[in-house]
Amino acid sequence: MEYFNVPFKLVIRRNLDILLEHHFDTYRQIAFLSGPRQVGKTTTTRQLLSRYENTSYINWDNFSDRRRILAGLESFSEHIGLTNLGGEQQICAFDELHKYTEWRDFLKGIFDGNRHLKMMVTGSARLSVFSRGGDSLRGRYFTYDMHPLSVAELAHDGRVSSNQSGLSDPSELPNDQWHALMTFGGFPEPFTKASQTFHGRWSMTSNEQLLREDIRDLTRVQELSQIEMLALRIQRQVGQLTSYSSFARDIRSTVPTIQRWIDILESLYYCFRVTPWRRNVAGLLRKEPKYYLWDWSQVHDRGARAENLIASALLKFARWRTEQGHGVYALHFLRDKQKREVDFVVVRDERPWILVEVKSGADSSLSKRLHHFQRLTGAQHAFQVAVNADYIDRDCFDETGPIIVPAKTFLSQLV
């Protein structure tokens, strides 16, 4: 059954377009762009290169490009014209280069020997994780994460706020796009097609590539069927406290192995963890983390899926602010010895800033836990985010005390 009769006719501008353009106009460092498969990295890279003269796009998965890289630095430099006297400044983008065992040495050699070359490296694995020896690239790169589409990115057409806080003015997202984002997730192709049939086939292929091909190519893990079982378990308990020992019993493995496998799934952008926050606050417990999926459309429970969508938006905002150099932002949750809990807390420079409790409707009474944890942590804002509430055209960040806000309003003010 199709949810929508007509796919969206959208030209989606990503907020990273602006940030990466600023990077190349300002810095010499290599731009490391990481993110899940099919989240839009290649499209963004090609659109960016089209705005400049004298560019190259090199894909490790392309046999001809791979052969040129393996031929060595001198041969590759000659191929892209770096050996010509008086050559103009170039931009070279490398895709999936982390699959090359000596990729760090290769990049370091090019970077140190060619001051007129600017580089961008994209990959579907966290590039800082898969370092297989070689000299350090420290000081030679800046990292950027590409996240799935969000309410704010769609509502503001990729534009980001220039306010000191990084928060945007509220802007309403059309209902059909809101429902598509909730149903089909934030990966551009299934979102724009808005087809249940396409989404089902796309999800199956995407999982197969990640849980089989990527793990096989980038790690020494042999127990692929057990990792698939682990991924399914994480999917089924999104937003719940994690029991590594329970995972280990069910999958017939050990706790250290389970933790190592989850680290791999995180590095390949299958899931992300949200840890408890307790710094300098008495009565808070240090418990195991919660896990959420990068593709929330694979979460079958509607309540958990909505919580996952909001977790993804908050993570995107926190990492965006950190990558732009506006401080150190992090996403956590709160839980005390009496098992009182708030779903999320955004921490800014080690101080709680925004508390978020997720509820389905606006008719739910305001949670007393928001009052309690705001007094305990001193957070500036405390929101009970109502997923099914209608959009209200007001800046929810004008309020400081605990308040119920529509998800459509709150999320439109992030990134």
pLDDT digits (tens, 9 = 90+) for 109-133: 999 988 888 999 998 877 655 444 4
Query: Is 404 or 99 the better-scoring residue by pLDDT?
Result: 404
Shared-domain flag, residues 278 and 401: yes
Angle of CA points 191, 194, 195, to nearest 5°: 130
Same domain, 159 and 139: no
Residue 64: give its domain's CATH number. 3.40.50.300
For residues 252 and 309, state if they share a domain.
yes
Same domain, 26 and 111: yes
Residues 127-146, mean pLDDT to the nearest whole number: 72
On whether residue 9 sits in a domain, the answer given is no
Residue 353 CB contacts under 8 Å (≥ 6 apart), including other chains = 345, 346, 347, 379, 380, 381
253 and 338 share a domain? Answer: yes
pLDDT at position 280 is 64
Q: Hey, what are 176's tokens?
A: 């059909």
Report the pLDDT value the prediction gives residue 131, as an integer from 0 to 100: 45
Q: Give the pairing type, strands 271-276 and 55-59.
A: unpaired
The whole domain housing 368 covers: 151-186+219-412
- Residue 129's pLDDT is 55
pTM beyond 0.85: the answer is yes
- 328 lies in the same domain as 182: yes
Mean pLDDT of 398-402: 94
Residue 198 near residue 297, CB atoms below 8 Å: no
Beta-strand runs (E) in 242-340: 271-276, 290-293, 329-335
**Domain for residue 199, yes or no?**
no
pLDDT band at 163 (very low <50, low <70, confident <90, very high): confident
Let me know whether 45 and 131 are in one domain: yes
Q: For residue 225, tell me if it sits in a domain.
A: yes
Residue among 403, 407, 412 nearest 389 (CA): 407
Range list of β-strands (E), 13-84: 30-34, 55-59
Position 4 pLDDT exceeds 60: no
Residue-wise pLDDT for 26-47, tens only, equals: 999 999 999 999 999 999 999 9
In a domain, 336, yes or no: yes
Counting the structural domains of the chain, the total is 2
Question: If pLDDT is split at 50, 70 and 90, which confidence band does 11 have?
Answer: low
Q: What is the Cα–Cα distance from 151 to 153, expressed in whole angstroms?
A: 6
Number of Cβ within 10 Å of residue 50's Cβ equals 8
Task: Convert the pLDDT of each residue in 306-364 to its tens digit.
Answer: 999 999 999 999 999 998 889 999 999 999 988 999 999 999 999 999 999 999 988 88
In a shared domain, residues 103 and 88: yes
Burial label for 140, CB within 10 Å (0-12, 13-18, 19+), is middle
Q: Is residue 198 part of a domain?
A: no
**Residues 342, 256: one domain?**
yes
Tell me: the pLDDT tens digits for 263-301? 999 999 999 999 999 876 766 777 789 999 999 999 999
Same domain membership, residue 160 and residue 110:
no
Residue 4 lies in a domain: no
pLDDT tens figures, 90-102: 899 999 898 898 9
Same domain, yes or no: 130 and 160: no
Q: Are residues 349 and 374 in the same domain?
A: yes
CB burial readout 101-136, b (16+ within 10 A) else e: eebbbbbbbbbeebeebbbbbbbbbbbeebeeeeee
